Each structure stands twice: as C-alpha cells, then as structure tokens.
Amino acid sequence: MKKKILRMDNGKAVYDNQNSLTAGPRGPVLMQDILLMEKLAHFDREEIPERIVHAKGAGAHGTFTVTNDITAYTKASIFSEIGKVTETFTRFSTVGGERGSADTARDPRGFATKFYTDEGNWDLVGNNTPVFFIRDPLKFPDFIHTQKRLPDSNLKSNEMVWDFWSKSPESLHQITTLFSNRGTPDGYRHMNGYGSHTYSFINGKNERFWVKFHLKTVQGIKNLRSDEAVRLAGENPDYATQDLFEAIEAGDFPKWTMYVQIMPETDAESYPINPFDVTKVWPHADYPLIEVGVLELNRNPENYFAEVEQAAFSPTNKVPGIGFSPDKMLQGRLFSYPDTQRYRLGVNYNLLPINRPKIEVENGYRNGFMRFDDNGGNRPNYEPNATGEPAEAAGVDEPPLKVCGDADRYAYDSDENSDFAQAGALYRLMPKNEQEDLINNLAGSMRGVREEIVETALEFFYKADSGYGSALAKKLGITR
C-alpha cells in the first residue's frame, strides 16, 4: 500500500515538518515559510472562540515596582528609576484543559502579565517553567493536538502524548519538570513565573543584550503530590482560582520578585548552549540572577468576562528597550498570539478596556468588528499626510541584528546528548522522595501505552541519567 504523503492545503508536498525556515542555522524565522504560517493560522482557528490553549484561568490587577537599577542594559521607561510604579494585570492558567477543567491538573501553568507602561503596553507572556517541550513553532500545533481529545471517543489519550514525546527528545527536560510535583503547584500564589524565551534589552547606547526573565514567588514554592491534586480536582476544581481571589480579597496580596539573566550579545556566538533554545536554561553560574523589581497583585476583577476572559496577551506587545531574539518558538508566537486574539476577540481587541494602553494611540487603523470608539473621526488614516500627524518617533529604533546564512530548514545546532544533559541534572538535584514521586507520576501516565512507544521513550530517560531510566523501567515492570 502506497504511503500517504504529508501535504499543505493546496496539495503541495511537505519535505520537512520539523524545522522552520530561517536565515542561517541561528537566524530568525522567515515570513516566506508558508508551511509554518498555514499551520499556525489553521491551528489558531480550530475551535470556536474559547482560547485554544490556556482556556481555564484566573487573574488580578496589581503593580510593578522597580527595586534595582538596570538602566545599563535597557532604556525601557518602566525600569528608568528605582521606586517607579507601573500598573499591571496578570492572568494565570492551565494549558491543555478546557474552561471547565480542574485547576490542579498536571499541566504547565501560564503566567502572563500586562504592564501598562508610559510608553505603551508590554506583555511578558510565560509559564511556571523556564523551558518548554519543543523549540520549533512548526511542531506546536502537532504537540497541542496530542493534549486534546480523540476525534472518535472525545477522550484524552496518554498514548498520543507519549507517541509524540518519544519522537521529540528535546521534550525530556520539560517532561521531567511536568511529572515532578512542580507539575501540580499548590495554587497560583506558590509558583514561579518565567518568560522562558530569550528576549533582548536595548540600552541608551543602542547596545543589545540577550535577557531571560524570572519571577520568583515571595510566598515560597508549594506543590501538591499527585494524590492531593486528584482529590482536589474532585472536591474543588476551581481550587487555585478561589485561593487567589480570596487571598487578595482578605488583603493578603501575593508578590513575586522579578530577576533577569543578562548575556552580552556577542556571547551567543561562542556559548556552548544555544542561548535561543527554549528547551534549555542558562546556568546561573554563568549568568547570575539580577534583581529588578516586585510584582504585587492587589485588586480582584469586578467582572470576570470583561477583565479576565477578554484579556489578550501577546509577546508582540513590547516597548522601546525590550526586543526579540532569534528564538524560533518566540518568532512563531509573534505571529500566532495576535492572530488567535484577532480570531477570538476581533481585530479591535486592543481597544477593549482591559487591553487598552494608558496612553493615547493613533495609528490610522479603521473599521473592523466591534469598533466602539469614534473610529478615528475624520482624521487622515494614512501617513505621511499634510498635517504631519501622526509622526514617526525618533530614538526607538534598535541596533541591526546580524543575520547570515542560506535560507533553509535547519535543526537546532546542538548535539543529541544536549537534549538530555539538563534533564539528567534536574533529576539529580531532586531529593530522593521527589525522585520517587516523579517516577510514580511518569509510570502512571505511561501505563497502557503501547510497548514500542514506551521502549522508545525509555531510551531518553537512560540517556539523561542511568538511574533515572532504571527506576522508571523497574516501576513499569520492564527488564533490560
């Protein structure tokens, strides 16, 4: 029987479905990657407007206060002086479940904050883990499909999940985090947040630095063991939502300290770990944490739909002094996030009160669904024009990003072992009781999955750490 060929919607055969089209091995993703654009655009519209991912969530208003001077690295006004306060809105969420799913499910947690700065809105859109399962956006719709429901039974499938992971070795670092007790945090107040991706800072001298963002909970890390998480899912599926709301209502305002890791731009060329690979962390010994400020949540929403459900976050929302990087997953999100918001809420979603910047915006955009202001009046909606307004801004440009290489579909430039080294190191950092919980959680998820898939996945665990692999194999009753 002739094997079916992977094709695009127009019938064009796909020759590489693993790697996005970039300018050189470490260059940014190209808009001419029509396969990537088609996959992401189709994925963004696969469901009627519940969020495709991060559907179940809770949020609160707050403030961000600068506590340390980082103006040597960035000219962003939000960080311009110690003591400066900026209004914020933060939304927490699970990733794979629907709006009615349990808050305590084993799942990464979204951690997204909108900073209403005096230069416009900056969104830091991240998770409670510093890494992710995949590092190329071309694989993102496929990955999320494994977390959704089967078309026949409408049930979730561990076999789909492990089938994909067993063919994606870069996933092991995040898998190790997810199946540890950090995969079921005790509410939203007791978990960290991470930008995960590599971003850039631009300083007043127009110098570029690579940066990673960390938000460390002041309340301390608290996690649930698997049995506790399952019990709470049955007793109170809105456990984390209730905990956050009631804490703020009682005046017990949760706080997180923001830190950054800073890498000089030229370090990326020789650093042994690809600094744009979101499945890897930067060791703190090489790039230590630098304190920046404190995020505090101190006001509950008055209307969940208007403020939490309609909140729209995107990494494209940035301000002068904060920029992007050649991180392929980040580049894919720059298209996918605003695209899915336009589908879910309409093209004018940034005019909604929860998303609207605190400063006046003039850009010539007109019409579209749900336009509820004066639609720009009779002012010119083109530029340049005789009035000279709106005018281009000076001093907000970024230094050129050096890009070289032939446009092609490149795998990440890391050897196979690098996909397992940090996962093994994370396993060895865990105390014995947490290692045992990790093994129990993994084994519970893998039971019932086809033997050949389990065997393939086990190879990754052995490569990360022989003890890791052996303990999991023993728990599964597999003799090697």
Report pLDDT digits (tens) over 189-227: 999 999 999 999 999 999 999 999 999 999 999 999 999
Q: Based on the structure, what is the number of domains in the chain?
A: 2
Q: Mark whether 202 and 316 lie in a shared domain.
A: yes
pLDDT band per the 50, 70, 90 thresholds, residue 389:
confident
For residue 311, give Cα distances in angstroms to 13, 58, 350.
38, 11, 9
Last residue of a domain, one of 334, 356, 378: 356
What is the percentage of the chain residues whose pLDDT exceeds 90?
74
Last residue of a domain, one of 336, 356, 376: 356
Q: Mark whether 143 and 285 lie in a shared domain.
A: yes
220, part of any domain: yes
168, part of any domain: yes
Q: Mark whether 347 and 441 lie in a shared domain.
A: no
Query: What are the CB-based long-range contacts (under 8 Å, 24+) for 471-476?
Result: 471/435, 471/439, 472/439, 472/442, 472/443, 475/439, 475/440, 475/442, 475/443, 476/443, 476/446, 476/447
Q: Mark whether 307 and 456 lie in a shared domain.
A: no
Residues 392-397, mean pLDDT to the nearest whole number: 82
Residue 259: per-residue pLDDT:
98
Q: Mark whether 330 and 469 lie in a shared domain.
A: no
Q: Mark whether 126 and 42 lie in a shared domain.
A: yes
432, part of any domain: yes
402, part of any domain: no
Which residues form the catalytic set? 54, 127
Q: Mark whether 200 and 321 lie in a shared domain.
A: yes
Q: Mark whether 56 and 133 lie in a shared domain.
A: yes
Torsion angle of alpha carbons 322, 323, 325, 331, nearest 10°? 130
Residue 1 pLDDT more than 80?
A: no
Q: How many H-runs (helices) and E-runs (strands) does the chain carry?
A: 12, 12
Q: Mark whether 322 and 447 lie in a shared domain.
A: no
Last residue of a domain, one of 303, 338, 356: 356
Q: Whose structure tokens read 């490149």?
A: 410
Residue 9: per-residue pLDDT:
67
Residues 99-125, mean pLDDT to the nearest whole number: 94
Residue 382 pLDDT more than 90?
A: no
Q: Mark whether 85 and 187 lie in a shared domain.
A: yes
Q: Mark whether 314 and 426 lie in a shared domain.
A: no
The amino acid at 4? K
Q: Residue 151: which domain range? A: 21-356
376, part of any domain: no
Strand partners, 212: 261
462, part of any domain: yes
Neighbouring C-beta atoms of residue 28, cutoff 10 Å: 20
321-350 pLDDT tens trace: 999 999 999 999 999 999 999 988 888 889
Q: Mark whether 168 and 287 lie in a shared domain.
A: yes
**What mean pLDDT, rounded, does the chain reach?**
93
Residue 175: per-residue pLDDT:
98
What is the C-alpha separation between 297 and 217, in angstroms, rounded? 12
Residues 25-44, mean pLDDT to the nearest whole number: 85
Q: What region, left, alpha or beta, does residue 304 occupy, with left being phi > 0 and alpha being psi -120 to 50 degrees?
A: alpha
Q: What is the pTM of this model?
A: 0.91
Most confident of 20-34, 173-187, 391-405: 173-187
pLDDT band per the 50, 70, 90 thresholds, residue 77:
very high
195, part of any domain: yes
Here the CATH number for the domain that contains residue 127 is 2.40.180.10
Contact between residue 199 and residue 189 where contact means Cβ atoms under 8 Å apart: no
